Amino acid sequence: MVRDLAALFHLAARNVFRNPRRSLLVVLTVAAGAGSLFLFDGFNTGILNQYREGTIHSRFGHGELNTAGYREQVFEKPWEHWIQDPTPIMDKLKTLPGVQHVFPRIGFFALLTKGGISLSGRGQGIDGAEEAKFFTKLRISDGVTLSDQPDGILLGQGLAHSLGAKPGDTVTVLANTIYGSINGADLTVVGIFLTGTKEFDDSGFRIPLSVAQTLLDTKSIESIALGLNTLEDWDPVSKAIAGPGSGLEATPFAVLDKVFYQNAVDWLSSQFQIIKYIIFFIVILGIFSTVSTSVLERKEEVGNLRANGESRLNVLSLFLAEGALLGFAGAFLGLALVLIFNNTVLANGFVMPPSPGLTRSFRVFVELQPSSALETFFLGSACALVGTAIAAVKVVRLSIGEALRAI
């Protein structure tokens, strides 16, 4: 009987339909578990992708180049360790496959004054026209983004609120040059941005790179941020430009935004693993509870099979084949229902409240992955097999006489 695989599954299928109500309960249990895992993994993927796209296209790009060792040390005169002659490096970067945009930058501290209010802020000198093409996730809450305005300044929302500044107002920026003297510039507020990161929004501002270099009295730049075609281009590009002997080091966006992005990735990944184990346990327990009742009712059948010459392994194989069929059907049903649900009810995503450390909500789309579907299908099927095996082993181990007497 069970020596032939086709015959084994044929008989298993007939046994499954002997009690359709109980079989349906097992299928629905597996479907609920597999569907939950599939949906939750898609939810996690959606959140992480939203975090990633927000981090890349609002502030950091795909990564950043600095002189070697610059990020790991604190220098008394950091400008001495900036990129002194950036033009050849930028020209080389633009020729590399995968490089879409190159963003020279300078970071500095300054005093901002409007009327009788003066506040310290952390500024960035940027190529506004180039950055406006790539940093599309930078939310402008009022006015416009900084692009080709030669005397414009873009303020973080918290900083603008503290200064009482709005688009069109004039703000005076005072900064120390690299030689220790004080320099200043009167700039016009072109817009107010909101990244959702309170620390940055409360102190950050952006001005044209040429203005920042004039304020600091330098032609150097502190860093070069990169906008690539895809995330996969980062490794070859960083190795090509920041290899041994180049005097440069490349830092990916995940390290630049470790506190918010990378920590969120690690936390959500760990959370998913814990929830996965909980769902496994619940599904296996539910299948065991349902299947064990069916198996106990079939002790006489097991005794007859053993009396007709079938081994314990053959009988156990029959039960496992039934569990496999129920597991496959349940996992397939769970994945199908989630796909339908995601393409109808969740087609437009849903708004999540601000996460810890952020001040704005964001829309999340459940992003279902083929690899996750395959993994979830086999894990759901495995749960059915494990639950069936646990329930069947005790009965299969009975002697023929004990099984036949259990009527």
Extents of the domains making up the chain: 5-55+261-405, 101-230
Return left, alpha or beta for 349; rule: phi > 0 is left, psi -120 to 50 is alpha, else beta.
Answer: left
Type of residue at 287: I
Return the higher-pLDDT residue of 259 and 146: 146
> What residues contact 386, with CB distance under 8 A and at least 6 apart?
284, 287
What is the dihedral sign for C-alpha 66, 69, 73, 76?
negative
Q: Which candidate, 15, 218, 203, 14, places its Cα nearest to that of 110?
A: 203
Task: Select the CATH number that applies to the domain covering 101-230 from these four: 2.40.70, 3.10.100, 2.60.40, 2.50.20.
Answer: 2.40.70
Rounded to 10 degrees, the C-alpha dihedral 98/100/104/110 comes to -120
* The pLDDT of residue 402: 77
Q: What is the pLDDT of residues 311-354, one digit of tens each?
A: 888 888 888 888 889 989 999 999 999 999 999 988 888 787 76
Give the lowest-confidence range in 43-57, 269-283, 308-322, 347-361: 347-361
Q: Between the CA of residue 46 and those of 344, 352, 365, 406, what are the distances in Å?
A: 17, 11, 5, 53
* The pLDDT of residue 222: 96
- Residue 253 structure tokens: 């966006």
Contacts of 143-150 with C-beta under 8 Å, sequence gap 24+, read 143/167, 143/189, 143/190, 143/191, 143/192, 144/190, 144/191, 145/190, 145/191, 145/193, 146/190, 146/191, 146/206, 146/207, 146/208, 149/188, 149/190, 149/208, 150/208, 150/210, 150/211
Q: Is the pLDDT of residue 237 over 90?
A: yes
